[in-house]
Structure 1
Amino acid sequence: MLHESNLEKDINITDTDITFETILQEKYIPQKYIGDIKKANVLIIPNEGFRDNEGYFFPECTSEFYMFLKNHEEIETEICIDNDEFQKIELHADIIYVATLIVQYVVLPVVTSVIASYLYDKINSMNKEKKDSNASVHIIVEKNGKSKKIDYEGSIDNFEEAMKTLEQTIFK
């Protein structure tokens, strides 16, 4: 089991069929919140299955992360699960796992900055140095009906700069 990492940065970008439209068709979408979910330009989506467990799961700090995102008026954020169905995974690792997001391309720069701020705040609350701490972040970016998935694992110190570089070139 991985408990720590000294990885500077590992970034993978892949094409994906996941879009805001396909997310709306998922069985985990709470229909009573569908109106709010349709208005959002940032959605927190669950990971399906974990090891031998079936169901939908979120990293342990997802509730805190959701509230952090909701406090930024520049983005409209919703979480794609009913409160009764919310399950979290506690990995007890030195890596900060951020919930998977799907974002509209137009808000990607803002979301990147907000995630970086969240990671810095989280590290400060843990009395650690950002250069010595790592994160695992998964962002699906949609632009004009096409989506790319960014998987970042590495230093929190490198996250924002790496993402700013990608913002300009991801759909080229």
Structure 2
Amino acid sequence: MTHRFRDDEDKFIVEESKENFETWTSKDFISSEIRESIKSASILIVPTIGFREPNELTFPIGTEDFFQYIKENLPENFTIDFCINDDDYQELALYSNYRRLGNFLVTTVALSVFLNLLSSYIYDKAIKEDESKPPIQIINIDNSKHQTIINSTEETKLPKKFLEAPKVKFSITVVDRNGTSKDFHYEGPAKDVKNITEEIKKLWDNESK
């Protein structure tokens, strides 16, 4: 069953999944040397397959930074890892209004901790950074038809997209102890992520009952 929740800004999709830790760690691009170790992870960061070229494995730019943030803040009884061989790891920069965080496999027991850290990361890296940018104003110089965006403290020109609220995009596959899973996809304003993570917790809790 697929549930779609969408308004003018948010896109939140919940659907059944056939993917779990077993299916991902069994893929042919995973070497036998790392297969067993990543199977025991609480959280796996999984690549996008074939975004530009068939079978190409990529992660969003900034994934390494996200990994380090989660790893440093996870309780000792949880672990996070990449679902890829070290030599195959590559990040792909896509220039758009969205901060792409990636695709994640998460066990039921790690879900609440992961969602809290995800929300905190987005606040620190997207919302707080956006709020810390210098104030701006739009002025019209000499009755020109063209508006100029001016930094009111440094008097430097800023791009138009500076005015846009930060947006994020991510997918989380939650897996229970039996391998049953569900996908949660979010695409929308960073400011709404806290509400989205609470909704994910609630929907998964209801699913697990």
Instruction: State the TM bucket, normalised to the shorter chain.
Output: 0.7 to 0.9
8 A contact 1:138–1:149 mirrored in 2: yes
Question: Which amino acid letter does the alignment assign opposite residue 43 of structure 1?
Answer: L
CA distances 1:84-129 after superposition (whole Å, capped 9, x unpaired): 111211012221101210001121111111111111221267x314
Matched, 1:161 2:195: yes
Greater relative contact order (Cα 8 A, min sep 6): structure 1 or 2? 1
TM-score by length of 1: 0.87
8 A contact 1:30–1:80 mirrored in 2: no
8 A contact 2:168–2:190 mirrored in 1: yes
Aligned pair count reads 166
Within a 5 Å distance, the mapping from 1:121-160 to structure 2 comes to 121-123=124-126, 127-129=129-131, 132-143=165-176, 144-160=178-194
**What secondary structure is seen at the aligned counterpart in 2 of 1:100?**
strand
**What secondary structure is seen at the aligned counterpart in 1 of 2:14?**
strand
Matched, 1:88 2:121: no
Question: Counterpart in 1 of 2:61?
Answer: 60
Question: Which amino acid letter does the alignment assign opposite residue 164 of structure 1?
Answer: E
Counterpart CA distance in 1 for 2:131 and 2:169 is 16
8 A contact 1:141–1:149 mirrored in 2: yes
Question: Counterpart in 2 of 1:16?
Answer: 17
Deviation at 1:36, TM superposition (A): 2.4
Deviation at 1:11, TM superposition (A): 0.5
**What secondary structure is seen at the aligned counterpart in 2 of 1:113?**
helix
Counterpart CA distance in 2 for 1:54 and 1:24 is 16
Counterpart CA distance in 1 for 2:126 and 2:200 is 24
Question: Which amino acid letter does the alignment assign opposite residue 202 of structure 2?
Answer: Q
TM-score by length of 2: 0.72
Q: Which runs of 5+ in 1 are unaligned?
A: 1-5
Between the aligned residues of both structures, percent identity stands at 26
8 A contact 1:20–1:102 mirrored in 2: yes
Deviation at 1:70, TM superposition (A): 1.1
The structure whose Rg is larger is 2
